[in-house]
């Protein structure tokens, strides 16, 4: 039986070019970038080269604004915890949204237990915050605003540049989790006006266990990891050189026109699934923004009357890997906090939705087959359920 992977928002397969780049490092460049001898200098050169590539990919003003981390979770934690430690003398109020990744929400919950007040902005049915709500929530003692760029479950794209302009004359530090945006959206940190931005390599066909945090020069920074003096004394620990080179290669693969081409490819895949479901008479609705307004790789659908767990199991048996929400809460019986924020705790969407997420390895033929498989699962369940009533 053939198997098809449509869970790219959880993780992506590593691209051949990234494997080649990492293999070269693993075989030939074993030096520690902190060493001063030839082998260390070679490693340090590759580290600097990768940092340059990644800085340019987000239009950072300087290469030293890139801090290598173990991934999105560490980058999110570092940005948030660094800010509250550095600016606690200015206040203890933080603003975020109700649909953030657990790496942000769990950190906020931790801070609430330690004397910080957190405002969670609501979202509308499209998964978008209101700038008016944000403006109303801002206070003189607000020290941090953390709003994700693209949501990992429904694909909503928040108005980051507008938020940046709103905060331009406020003391609050501005952080955005761009983990789901980096491989598919154009990012210019100067235009966006962010102070911190989080990235993870495995969402764009790079390796797991590596990412980076953009930290704008001039923003106070308190290290999250302590030990050696790596990363300009901001993140201790010997750098993961093979992973960093792999991340830089993945970023290069998606630079310029290639990223625009990928967006068109991903949009076409989503449209193909929707067309098949419509043609097959499936009763469904799109959760969150319209297809062309969402992150191009994420499609969340309400499969009306079909329990999520049953749909997931039957699609897996047919060879199709999709999800019911964030992979970081997989195995939990808790409903999606994102869908609750959009529709309320009692809405049927909470128990009857699927997240389909697409990547470079998917094609129109497999997307067509996915649409047919979802249609078959839905029709089979509803027909059997009707017969038992």
What residues are annotated to the active site?
A: 328
Residue 16, exposed/middle/buried by CB under 10 A (0-12, 13-18, 19+)? Answer: exposed
Which residue has tokens 């049953």?
310
DSSP string, 64-123: GGEEEESSHHHHHHHHHHHHHHHSGGG--EEEEETT--HHHHHHHHHHHTTT-EEEEE--
Give the chain's count of helices (H) and strands (E): 13, 12
Interatomic CA distance for residues 381 and 306, integer angstroms: 7
Distance of CA 221 to the CA centre of its chain: 23
211 sits in which H/E element: strand 211-215
User: Residue 228: CB partners within 8 Å, gap ≥ 6?
Assistant: 34, 236, 237, 238
Please answer whether residues 175 and 145 qualify as being in contact, where contact means their C-beta atoms are separated by less than 8 angstroms.
yes
């Amino acid at each position: 039986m053939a198997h098809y992977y449509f869970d790219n928002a959880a993780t992506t397969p590593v691209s051949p070019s990234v494997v080649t780049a990492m293999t070269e490092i693993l075989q030939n460049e074993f030096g520690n970038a902190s060493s001063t001898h030839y082998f260390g200098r070679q490693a340090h050169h590759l580290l600097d080269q990768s940092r340059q590539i990644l800085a340019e990919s987000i239009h950072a003003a300087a290469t030293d604004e890139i801090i290598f981390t173990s991934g999105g979770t560490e980058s999110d934690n570092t940005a948030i915890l660094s800010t509250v430690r550095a600016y606690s003398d200015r206040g203890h109020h933080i603003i975020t949204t109700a649909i953030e990744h657990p790496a942000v929400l769990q950190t906020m919950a931790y801070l609430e237990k330690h004397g910080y007040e957190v405002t969670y902005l609501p979202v509308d049915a499209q998964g978008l915050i209101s700038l008016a709500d944000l403006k109303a929530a801002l206070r003189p003692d607000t020290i941090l605003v953390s709003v994700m760029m693209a949501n990992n479950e429904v694909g909503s794209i928040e108005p980051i540049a507008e938020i940046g302009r709103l905060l331009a004359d406020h003391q609050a530090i501005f952080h955005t989790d761009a983990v789901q945006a980096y491989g598919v959206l154009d990012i210019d940190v100067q235009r966006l006006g962010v102070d911190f931005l989080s990235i993870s390599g495995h969402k764009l066909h790079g390796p797991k266990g590596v990412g980076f945090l953009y930290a704008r020069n001039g923003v106070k920074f308190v290290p999250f990891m302590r030990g050696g003096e790596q990363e300009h004394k901001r993140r201790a620990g010997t750098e993961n050189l093979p992973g960093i080179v792999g991340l830089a290669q993945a970023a290069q693969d998606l630079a310029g026109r290639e990223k625009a081409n990928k967006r068109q490819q991903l949009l076409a895949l989503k449209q193909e699934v929707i067309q098949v479901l419509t043609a097959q008479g499936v009763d469904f609705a799109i959760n969150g923004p319209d297809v062309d307004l969402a992150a191009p790789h994420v499609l969340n659908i309400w499969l009306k009357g079909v329990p999520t767990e049953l749909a997931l199991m039957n699609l897996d048996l047919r060879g199709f890997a999709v999800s019911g929400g964030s992979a970081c809460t997989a195995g939990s019986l808790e409903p999606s906090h994102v869908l609750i924020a959009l529709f309320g705790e009692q809405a049927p969407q909470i128990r009857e939705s699927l997240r389909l997420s697409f990547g470079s390895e998917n094609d129109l033929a497999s997307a067509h087959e996915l649409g047919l498989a979802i249609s078959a699962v839905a029709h089979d369940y509803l027909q059997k359920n009707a017969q038992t009533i």
